[in-house]
Amino acid sequence: MKRMGLICLVVAVAFVLQVRGANLEVEVTDMATISSGDTTRFLLRFDLPSQLVGSTIDYAELRFRAQPDSGSGPLDLAGYRLTTGWDMGTVSWSHPWANPGGDYSDSTLTVSTISGEESQRVSLDLTGILSAWARGRPNYGLIIKPLIEKGRDLTVVQDPEFPPGVKAEVEVYYTAQEVSK
């Protein structure tokens, strides 16, 4: 009678963990208004959460509530990537910018239209810029301004759906970077 031995084979298996379809809401911590004469612009900045670094940004949307000035009709708002760092305590129309009113990329990131005279929710697609930030591009924040500024004005107001003091937030849908085990 032959004895059969039991052979144990240990196989090391590498697997990839990937979170798909995750989402998170990011509160915008820094929001400033700069103006000169009848021109107003909004600066905003938020830290990129660590779980987004190296991840694929599937969709990202900035949301805030704005009140257009009375009688101005529809207002197209545009978002641009800032190219210079700024500080909440010292930022103004002329500081720290090389170009008064803010140093920003001339490529429009996103546009949204508001109309009427009542405050409305503004939604701007930030998928492209968050993707760039997640891949390591410097994050100086965004500037939001009317596409045609002359005589066009608005005010960012508190959104009743946000916690007190939070005037804007970004909702991000992402696929986490692959983690090998």
The better pLDDT of the pair 150, 59 is held by 59
Extents of the domains making up the chain: 21-180
Q: Return the pLDDT at 43.
A: 95
pLDDT digits (tens, 9 = 90+) for 143-173: 999 888 776 677 888 888 888 888 889 999 9
Which residue shows structure tokens 């930022």? Answer: 91
The model's pTM: 0.79
How much is the pLDDT for 19?
40
pLDDT of residue 9: 24
| pLDDT at 14 (0 to 100) | 29
What percent of the chain lies above the pLDDT cut of 90? Answer: 38
CATH architecture of 21-180: Sandwich (2.60)
- Give me the mean pLDDT over the 113-140 stretch: 89
- Taking all residues of the chain, what is their mean pLDDT, rounded to a whole number? 81
Asked whether the predicted pLDDT for residue 47 surpasses 50, the reply is yes
Judged by DSSP in three states, 145 sits in strand
According to DSSP, the β-strands at 56-68 and 16-17 are: unpaired
Rounded to whole angstroms, the Cα distance separating 140 from 72 reads 31
